[in-house]
Structures are given as structure tokens and as C-alpha cells.
């Protein structure tokens, strides 16, 4: 009778039954174990648990191995650009550091709302982020992680994360600008300076020198293509951009003709005469995007293109209309009649010296036809932004532009007393950085003792402000149940529509009666309302980005609630819930009974309503806004 062999047993050659050898996970080759442990379903906690299982798995999960490299790059993909390919790195240590930075950044951002809710500008809070002493790219990555999380949740966290990211990036750009200014005049590029100005005023935009240069290279290639049709043997066609200098006048003329044809006819670049004082005209990435600008920004573009193609043009600080000059004689001449002057704002028109005066309507001295340095070009560019900021309407946007342009100007020219005094007054007006205001005033006094009157006034009131900050005022609490508030119909967080102007808005505060000045009441014709000033008024954030003060009789709940795209929404609200905004802790502290009222109103209005897709009723905001608000 044949001997039966168990299913899991194997007969040996001599007929003796032997047990099979059991294979364990740890017997697998290291490469295969690493492949298994790099599965996307495993998180860092799983890897920590696995590495504690035995020495073999602990060795496979060592800090410099593929497992922790995979975990690091899987969780924080944006940080890969900071490492070279195949770079040997202690990935476990990097993971721990980045994880710790994330926790500290989040705690700091969460604490800011409680301490700076009433501040118009976050002044002193940014120093806390810098004092963490953590790698900047880790801090920025965590802030971006917060900003890119669920769109309609954590609005307050995102609001302050965005402001901190704005500040941190600006500090990096200022350091780059200072390094740029330390270069010799021959090394400085007007394009690089213009990009730094653009980056500082738009730190959250994706603006890089490489990206801008690539776009300009594309235009230069179009010019070469045009030039190849007119003169196939032109020397600029045989070399890379910027590698040759064309000396022959006729060849230069051909090249500039092709440049004008491509830039102004083919690509339709033009001076922005209709919206001249729009700050976008000064930002080089916007000039390339919108194909319009002001004389100085178009001149920087034109001069950069000409230099790439082999022609050395020089910037001219002509009053009220920036120009370029093109030498017609021996290089080095300073005779103003040896140059042709190019108006980049006027489609590259070429002018003689005296024809330039027709642009501004009066005569000027020969000094105004001289070439200027790259630093002077930047001062002129930033000066334009400063003037636009000073012309602003006194809202947060214009204040931000004024602060940014003052920072830039005083980085380039730190001893300008006029702008130092303006900066001190601006900080004092906004109630920020009082200690820095005192430092600025001390510097002004050292530079120009004749300013002692203005300096003394600001010093006295700044010291009072510092003392006042040591004793903060308890915020006013408004309860709906109070007898004087019984006429208040609406509550914070409700999405409303203005009956007259048609704009959409969200309520973030209210008063039982109008609290504005008599002058404002008269100007806004409040007496023409049926209930006049003796009715509840609401602070509202409007879809167009303004803040207004609206009378109760002019507001009604929106029939189809929608998100309000206002930059300050996160300051007051933590979440949008399809029907209303949820007040954050700070706003709920000031209006403790409003959240219940808002929920009751929402249930009554919207719970039984069928969804109405595409019914976003967004009317134009017909009213102009004042500093606090403009429309009833």
C-alpha cells in the first residue's frame, strides 16, 4: 500500500517525511522590502510601527533609506525642488523637522486671530514666525498647506496664514533686492530690478526672473523670425540672445524696425492711456500678460529685447515721460543731438531731442536727456507706485501699496527724509510697529534736525500709543436680547442683498442705530430713508471687495445664498455652509446670541427651498465706498 504524504509535507529522496522551511517577511531582499514599505497606503505612523518590529525591519527603515524618502516626498511634494536628484539626506530627520515646524506654525497662526482681531494691520505678530528659527521653506510649505486645504472651511486660519506668507516672502525679496543693489552698475539688469519690484508688491503671485526672461526670449525669437525675412544674413541671427553687439547703424535700424513690427503690430503692445494710474501697469508680469503699460515699464521691456538682439539702448529719466536713447555717433558721446530718443509708450516712435519736449508741452534742460543708472530706473518705477498709493481711496488696498512702495524706495534710498517721514506717519496712522516708528523718527532727526517739530509731535503720540496698548480695551458685547436691540432683525453671518444697489453681501456687525458722524449722515442722505438714522445699521462685506454700512430697510436675505468673495471674510468667519457664514470665536464673543438667530433664520428661509443652480444673483455695486462704508 502506497504511503500517503500530507498536503503540506514533502517526501525526501530516502522516503523520509520532512517539514518544509517557513519563509518570513524579513527573509525577503532589502530592495523588495523597501518596495513593499513604499506603498502609498502606508503612513508615517505605520512605518514607525514596522521599524519597531525587529532589527531587520529597523535597518530597512533607516533614516537615509528609500522608505523615509518616499514618506517625506509623498506628504510634502512641494519640497522636492529643494533637493538634488539622488541626494543623500537624512530623510527621517527632515521629516521630523518639517512635522515639528508644521505644528508650531499652525499653533502660531491659530493664536493670532485672538490677539489681533481688532487690528487693521498685523504688525508685531510676524516677528514670532521669524523667531521660530525654523527653515523658511518649511514654514512657507506649511502655510501653503493651510491655504490649499478645504476651500470653505478654516477661513480664519487661511486669512492669517495668507498674511504671514505675504510677509515672509517680502522679507526674502528684500534680502534679494539688497544683494542686487550691492552689485556693480555694470552687473545690474533693469529687468531683474523690475522683477524684484513686481515680486515685492505681488509676493503671492508666481513671478520669477526665469519665467519673465523666457517670455521675453519668445518675443526675441519672433523678432528674429521677422528679421530673417528682411535680411537673412543679419549678424544677430547667427548668435544666441545677448551674445553680440551690433555696431553698424543700418543693421541696428533694421533690427529696431523688426522689433517695432513684432511688438506693436503683431503682438499689439500699447501704452495704457485709458487706465494710466493702475498699478498693474508697473508690474512686468502684468505688462507681458495684458500687453500694456506705462512709459517706464514698456521701456524696460523694449530695452531688454533690444539688448538681447544686440543693440545697447540707454534709459533716460525724461520728466513725466520715460524714454530710451539710441546713439547715432561714436559711443561715449554726451551731446544730446547725437542720439535718437525712442518712445516705447508711443509704439517705438523715434524722436529728435527737441521733439521730445512736445510730449510734455514745455522745454527742459540738457540734463534731462542724460542716461541714468539701473538704480535710478528702479527709484522712478517705485516712485510711480508711491504716487498711485498716495492717490488711493484710503482703503486697505491703497495702504498696502503705499507701505510696499515705501519699503522698496527706502531700501534703495534709505536716507530720503521726505519718505521716511511719510513712512512714520503711515505706521502711526495704521497703529502698527510703534517701536519701529520711534526708530524711524530718531533716524530722521539725525539726518535733518530741522524736522524736530514734526518728529516731536509723532514721538509724543507714539509713546501714548505704546502705553495705550499695554491696557487693551475690553471689546463691546452686543446681545440681541437687550431691550435696546429688539429692533435688530438680522444677524451676523447672513447673506443679504441690497434692495436698491443690488449688491450681495454678508453681515459681520450691527448697531441698533446709525453711529456714523452727522457729516456722513448728511452726505449719504440718510434722512431720505423712511426710518432715517433711527433704525439698525449693518456692517457688511460686499462682493466687490468693499465694506459698507447699510440701513436695515435697504437689506433683505438673499434668495439664493452664495459665497462672498471678499478678502476680509476670513477675519470674521470660520466657514461657509452653503446658506450662511459661521462666525469665528472672536466675532461670536462680540455677538454671543447671533449664531442661534442665524441658524433659525436659515432654517426658516432655505430648508424647504429647492436648490437653484446658476441663480447667483450678483448685481453691480452702484455706490462708492468711504473709509468705513458708503452705502445704506
Which pLDDT band, with edges at 50, 70 and 90, does 5 fall under?
very low
To the nearest 10 degrees (0 to 180), the angle between helices 396-412 and 374-390 is 160
**Residue 193 has what pLDDT?**
97
| CA distances from residue 525 to 159, 285, 498, 520, 620 in whole angstroms, order as listed | 35, 43, 16, 8, 21
Q: What is the C-alpha separation between 122 and 156, in angstroms, rounded? A: 14
C-alpha cell at 380: 522712478
Q: Is the pLDDT of residue 306 over 90?
A: yes
CA nearest to 230, candidates 260, 204, 202: 260
Which pLDDT band, with edges at 50, 70 and 90, does 429 fall under?
confident
* Range 193-211 average pLDDT: 96
Q: Cα angle vertex 56, ends 54, 57, to 5°?
A: 70
To the nearest 10 degrees (0 to 180), the angle between helices 295-309 and 374-390 is 160
**Residue 123 has what pLDDT?**
56
**Residue 631 has what pLDDT?**
39
Q: Is the pLDDT of residue 7 over 50?
A: no
* Range 575-598 average pLDDT: 95
* Range 536-545 average pLDDT: 94
Q: Is 265 helix (H, G, I), strand (E, B) or coil?
A: helix
* Range 55-79 average pLDDT: 90
**Residue 430 has what pLDDT?**
83
What HEC string does 453-498 produce? HHHHHHHHHHHHHHHHHCCCCCCCCCCCCCHHHCCCCCCCCEEEEE
C-alpha cell at 586: 472672536
| CA distances from residue 158 to 130, 152, 161, 434 in whole angstroms, order as listed | 19, 10, 5, 27
> What residue ranges do the domains of the chain occupy?
26-75, 93-182, 190-379, 414-473, 494-607
Higher-confidence position of 136 and 183 = 183
Is residue 463 within 8 Å of 577, Cβ to Cβ? no
**Residue 21 has what pLDDT?**
60
**Residue 111 has what pLDDT?**
83
Which pLDDT band, with edges at 50, 70 and 90, does 119 fall under?
low
* Rounded (10°) CA dihedral 252, 257, 259, 263: 160
HSE (side-chain half, CA atoms, 13 Å) at 529: 24
Query: How far, in whole angstroms, is CA 394 from its chain's centroid?
Result: 20
CA nearest to 368, candidates 315, 439, 299: 315
Q: What is the C-alpha separation between 424 and 441, in angstroms, rounded? A: 7
HSE (side-chain half, CA atoms, 13 Å) at 344: 29
**Residue 19 has what pLDDT?**
53
**Residue 143 has what pLDDT?**
92
* Range 186-193 average pLDDT: 94
Higher-confidence position of 392 and 136 = 136
* Range 303-329 average pLDDT: 93
Strands (E) located in 232-322: 270-271, 292-293, 314-316
Higher-confidence position of 631 and 148 = 148
Q: Cα angle vertex 146, ends 144, 151, to 5°?
A: 105
Q: What is the C-alpha separation between 44 and 451, in angstroms, rounded? A: 61
Which pLDDT band, with edges at 50, 70 and 90, does 131 fall under?
low
pTM for the model stands at 0.83
* Range 544-561 average pLDDT: 94
Is residue 597 within 8 Å of 588, Cβ to Cβ? no
Q: Give the bridge partners for 455, in sequence order.
A: none
Question: Which of the given ranges, 13-27, 183-197, 234-248, has the highest pLDDT on average?
Answer: 183-197
Q: Is 500 exposed, middle or buried (0-12, 13-18, 19+ CB in 10 A)?
A: middle
Q: Where are the alpha helices (DSSP H) in 117-204?
A: 126-131, 136-147, 155-181, 190-201
Higher-confidence position of 629 and 561 = 561
Q: Is the pLDDT of residue 278 over 90?
A: yes
Q: Is the pLDDT of residue 11 over 70?
A: no
HSE (side-chain half, CA atoms, 13 Å) at 59: 7
Q: Is the pLDDT of residue 503 over 50?
A: yes
Q: Is the pLDDT of residue 251 over 80?
A: yes
Is residue 497 within 8 Å of 558, Cβ to Cβ? yes
Higher-confidence position of 109 and 572 = 572
Residues 332-372: pLDDT tens digits? 778 888 899 999 999 999 999 889 988 888 888 888 899 99
HSE (side-chain half, CA atoms, 13 Å) at 64: 5
* Range 248-269 average pLDDT: 95
Q: Cα angle vertex 180, ends 176, 185, to 5°?
A: 175
pLDDT, mean over the chain: 87
Q: Cα angle vertex 228, ends 227, 229, to 5°?
A: 90
Which pLDDT band, with edges at 50, 70 and 90, does 545 fall under?
confident
| CA distances from residue 192 to 187, 294, 300, 572 in whole angstroms, order as listed | 10, 18, 10, 39
Which residue shows C-alpha cell 447699510? Answer: 550
Q: Which residues of 208-241 are buried (b: 16+ CB within 10 A; e: fewer)?
A: ebeebbeebeebbebbbebbeeeeeebebeeeeb
Report the residue count for the chain.
632
Sheet holding 537-542, edge to edge: 547-551, 537-542, 504-511, 495-498, 555-557
* Range 386-401 average pLDDT: 84
Q: What is the C-alpha separation between 174 and 196, in angstroms, rounded? A: 8
Q: Is 301 helix (H, G, I), strand (E, B) or coil?
A: helix
Q: What is the C-alpha separation between 62 and 68, in angstroms, rounded? A: 8
Report long-range pairs for 336-339 (Cβ below 8 Å, ≥24 apart): 336/366, 336/369, 339/369
**Residue 360 has what pLDDT?**
85
Amino acid at each position: 500500500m502506497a504511503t500517503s504524504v500530507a498536503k503540506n509535507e514533502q517526501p525526501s529522496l530516502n522516503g523520509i517525511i520532512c517539514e518544509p522551511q517557513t519563509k518570513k517577511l524579513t527573509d525577503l531582499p532589502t530592495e523588495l522590502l523597501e518596495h513593499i514599505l513604499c506603498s502609498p497606503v502606508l503612513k508615517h505612523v505605520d512605518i514607525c510601527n514596522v521599524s519597531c518590529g525587529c532589527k531587520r525591519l529597523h535597518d530597512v527603515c533607516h533614516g537615509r533609506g528609500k522608505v523615509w524618502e518616499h514618506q517625506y516626498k509623498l506628504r510634502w511634494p512641494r519640497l522636492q525642488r529643494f533637493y538634488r536628484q539622488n541626494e543623500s539626506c537624512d530623510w527621517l530627520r527632515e521629516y521630523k523637522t518639517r512635522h515639528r515646524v508644521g505644528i508650531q506654525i499652525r499653533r502660531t497662526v491659530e493664536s493670532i486671530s485672538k490677539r489681533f482681531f481688532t487690528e487693521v494691520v498685523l504688525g508685531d505678530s510676524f516677528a514670532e514666525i521669524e523667531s521660530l528659527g525654523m527653515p523658511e521653506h518649511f514654514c512657507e510649505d506649511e502655510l501653503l498647506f493651510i491655504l490649499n486645504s478645504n476651500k470653505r472651511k478654516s477661513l480664519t486660519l487661511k486669512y492669517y496664514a495668507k498674511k504671514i506668507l505675504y510677509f515672509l516672502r517680502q522679507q526674502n525679496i528684500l534680502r534679494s533686492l539688497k544683494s542686487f543693489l550691492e552689485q556693480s552698475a555694470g552687473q545690474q539688469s533693469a529687468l531683474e530690478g523690475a522683477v524684484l519690484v513686481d515680486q515685492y508688491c505681488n509676493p503671492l503671485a508666481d513671478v520669477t526672473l526665469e519665467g519673465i526672461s523666457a517670455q521675453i526670449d519668445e518675443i526675441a525669437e519672433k523678432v528674429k523670425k521677422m528679421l530673417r525675412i528682411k535680411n537673412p544674413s543679419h549678424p544677430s541671427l547667427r548668435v544666441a540672445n545677448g551674445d553680440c553687439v551690433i555696431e553698424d547703424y543700418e543693421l541696428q535700424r533694421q533690427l529696431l524696425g523688426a522689433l517695432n513690427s513684432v511688438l506693436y503690430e503683431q503682438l499689439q503692445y500699447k501704452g495704457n492711456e485709458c487706465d494710466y494710474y493702475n498699478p498693474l501697469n508697473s508690474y512686468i508680469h502684468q505688462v507681458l500678460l495684458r500687453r500694456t503699460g506705462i512709459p517706464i515699464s514698456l521701456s524696460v521691456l523694449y530695452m531688454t529685447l533690444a539688448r538681447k538682439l544686440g543693440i545697447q539702448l540707454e534709459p533716460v529719466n525724461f520728466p513725466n515721460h520715460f524714454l530710451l536713447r539710441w546713439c547715432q555717433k561714436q559711443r561715449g558721446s554726451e551731446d544730446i543731438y547725437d542720439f535718437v530718443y525712442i518712445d516705447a509708450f508711443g509704439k517705438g516712435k523715434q524722436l529728435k531731442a527737441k521733439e521730445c519736449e512736445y510730449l510734455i508741452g514745455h522745454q527742459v534742460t540738457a540734463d534731462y536727456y542724460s542716461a541714468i543708472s539701473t538704480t535710478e530706473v528702479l527709484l522712478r518705477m517705485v516712485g510711480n507706485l508711491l504716487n498711485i498709493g498716495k492717490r488711493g481711496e484710503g482703503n486697505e488696498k491703497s495702504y498696502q501699496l503705499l507701505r510696499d512702495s515705501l519699503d522698496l524706495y527706502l531700501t534703495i534710498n534709505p536716507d530720503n527724509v521726505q519718505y521716511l517721514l511719510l513712512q512714520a506717519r503711515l505706521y502711526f496712522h495704521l497703529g502698527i510697529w510703534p517701536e519701529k516708528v520711534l526708530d524711524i523718527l530718531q533716524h530722521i532727526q539725525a539726518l535733518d534736525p530741522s524736522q524736530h517739530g514734526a518728529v516731536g509731535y509723532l514721538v509724543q503720540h507714539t509713546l501714548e500709543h505704546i502705553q495705550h496698548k499695554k491696557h487693551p480695551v475690553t471689546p463691546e458685547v452686543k446681545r440681541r436680547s437687550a431691550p435696546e436691540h429688539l429692533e435688530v432683525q438680522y444677524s451676523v453671518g447672513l447673506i443679504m442683498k441690497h434692495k436698491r444697489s443690488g449688491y450681495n453681501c454678508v453681515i459681520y456687525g450691527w448697531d441698533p442705530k446709525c453711529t456714523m458722524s452727522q457729516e456722513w449722515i448728511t452726505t449719504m442722505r440718510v434722512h431720505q430713508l423712511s426710518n432715517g438714522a433711527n433704525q439698525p445699521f449693518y456692517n457688511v462685506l460686499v462682493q466687490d471687495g468693499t465694506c459698507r454700512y447699510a440701513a436695515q430697510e435697504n437689506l433683505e436675505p438673499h434668495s439664493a445664498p452664495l459665497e462672498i468673495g471678499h478678502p476680509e471674510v476670513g477675519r470674521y468667519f470660520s466657514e461657509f455652509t452653503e446658506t450662511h457664514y459661521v462666525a469665528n470665536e472672536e466675532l461670536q464673543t462680540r455677538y454671543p446670541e447671533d449664531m442661534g438667530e442665524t441658524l433659525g433664520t436659515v432654517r426658516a428661509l432655505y430648508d424647504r427651498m429647492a436648490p437653484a443652480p446658476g441663480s447667483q444673483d450678483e448685481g453691480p455695486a452702484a455706490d462708492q465706498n468711504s473709509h468705513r462704508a458708503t452705502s445704506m
